[in-house]
Amino acid sequence: MPFLELSLRCPGREQPRYEAALEDIGALSVTSLDADADTPDERAILEPGVGETPIWPEVVLTALFDAGSDAERVLSMLESFDDGLDLSNASFREVEDQDWERAWLDQFQPMRFGARTWIVPWNHELPAEAGDDAAIIRLDPGLAFGSGTHPTTALCLQWLDTLAAQGALEGIDVLDYGCGSGILALAALKLGARSATGIDNDPQAITATTDNAQRNAVDDRLSAFLPDDAPERQYPVVLANILASALDALAARIAARVAPGGRIALSGILPDQAPDLVERYGEWFDELQVTRLEDWVRIDGRRRD
């Protein structure tokens, strides 16, 4: 039996409002994609930051409804739920269960970050160019918030790969603040970290991180918590791939998690937001550097002793 799929564009700032309406009228799932990507392969799955969604100016929402759902009735229910929604660009199609799964999987190909780090969908063979020392992270696109396709995630993965090349990850504990899918925590473990902790305010992110840890056979070394449940401790390496507003609001809390002399990487930042955050984190960190990839930047530095 085919599903009914609804595609709908909306401003990024309105995404939670549209998603709430879709879920209220019975959508089985709602996926957020970057509306500005040129091709489906470039559309990163939305990776929410701590208390922040989404990260794109305009979003394409894709919602699935039960087989036999009537498109006109779906639109009517949306209008009844919130008559301020713009439904003028709504489009529908029927998708078979198998085709829907295939569409998810086909968006993801093995991706390399730095010298050793590879993100590989569970259904793909290892690339021939992956060496014996490759750090392989297997992801299920159906569970993951972040796949590595977005520049903010790529910047953090590249940074971890560089730390590993310097021997700075071997046998240490890592914190992934705003873990989403847990991809950064997983990468740190595969690159030599002893343990990793993920923190996120979305229970679905905790589930995704836990599932991905099991898939990668590191669930004995990765723990994921909601913010209020997380242990209060410091880490030699901390990553926070969230948005600039959250990085600013949580600066003191994030800085307190970094051990003296420890390393930090911040991402989810637009270039014009970087100077203010460099100044903000300069209260605690030295050697702050800004690295750009496409329209996003990473800030990294070292905690003062």
Q: What is the pLDDT of residues 11-43, one digit of tens each?
A: 888 888 998 899 889 888 888 777 776 544 444
Using 50, 70 and 90 to split pLDDT, how confident is the model at 51?
A: very low
| Distances in whole angstroms, Cα of residue 248 to Cα of each of 176, 185, 243, 274 | 17, 22, 9, 11
| Contact indicator for 264, 294 with CB cutoff of 8 Å | no
Strand partners, 278: none
Known binding residue 153? Answer is yes
Burial letters 263-289, b for 16+ CB under 10 A, else e: bbbbbbbeeebbeebbebbeebbeebe
CA distance 157 to 144: 16
Strand partners, 30: 63
Known binding residue 241? Answer is yes
Q: pTM to 2 decimals?
A: 0.69
Using 50, 70 and 90 to split pLDDT, how confident is the model at 243?
A: confident
**In the chain, what are the domains?**
3-105 (3.30.70), 108-303 (3.40.50.150)
Known binding residue 178? Answer is yes
Backbone angles phi, psi at 165, to 5 degrees: -65, -30
Mean pLDDT, the chain, integer: 85
| Distances in whole angstroms, Cα of residue 224 to Cα of each of 65, 91, 103, 199, 254 | 31, 38, 29, 6, 16
Q: Taking 50 as the threshold, does the pLDDT of residue 9 lie above it?
A: yes
pLDDT for 228: 92
ω into residue 54 within 30 of 0, thus cis? Answer: yes
Using 50, 70 and 90 to split pLDDT, how confident is the model at 265?
A: very high
